[in-house]
Amino acid sequence: MLNLVIFGPPGSGKGTQAAHIKEKYGLLHLSTGEMLRHEIASKTALGLEVESLVVSGQLVPDELVTEVLKKALAEKMSQGNGFIFDGFPRNGEQAQILEDALNSLNLDINIAINLTASDTELIKRILLRGETSGRADDNEIVIKERLEIYRKNVSDLISFYQKLGKLNEVDGEGTPQEVFERITKLIDKHI
Ligand code: AMP
């Protein structure tokens, strides 16, 4: 089993890269952002509860997002060669929650990928994505809020995986193909 975490600021391309990684290595892609957007679109009780937070770029409380993640983990446990976690964890507490959940299943994270890019590049990408994504949070006002929240929480995430010796920084600038090559080089070293 190969279990990866990919984190990076909004617009860093983690969703795109996670989808490529999933294909190449036969992993299951678990994106909490996607799961939450699905709950909102389906107008479930949870979706209605989290909608205003997601739309305004705020983080959803740990308990709620953990519930969604654990449900998906349990459902998909036996289906692939491992998982790629995209958008979870987003803070130190969530990193510990994920570690405990995986350990209780006798699993572990093998590699944590920190995808980086400059704010100028990120804002440019998100505005471009907003033209077609239909995402209510892909607009200029909410982007700034999302970036700020990300930067506030990321240092705990970095030190969590650094302590475990699993942290790897990957330059997220360049074409998606260039970034993917950097990531595959890293993963191939570990398998
Ligand atoms: P993403 O698709 O990863 O950019 O996530 C979109 C939005 O979903 C975020 O701005 C948050 O509102 C919410 N969200 C996704 N993952 C998490 C998480 N791990 N913790 C809290 N909120 C989350």
Res. 93: pLDDT tops 90: yes
* Alpha helix positions (H), 14-91: 14-25, 32-41, 45-55, 62-76
pLDDT band at 123 (very low <50, low <70, confident <90, very high): very high
Q: What are phi and psi of 103, to 5 degrees?
A: -60, -35
Q: Ligand 1, from 29, 36, 62: best to mutate by most atoms within 8 Å of Cβ?
A: 36
Nearest CA to ligand 1 atom 11: 59
Which pLDDT score is estimated for 175?
96
Kindly report the pTM of this predicted structure.
Answer: 0.95
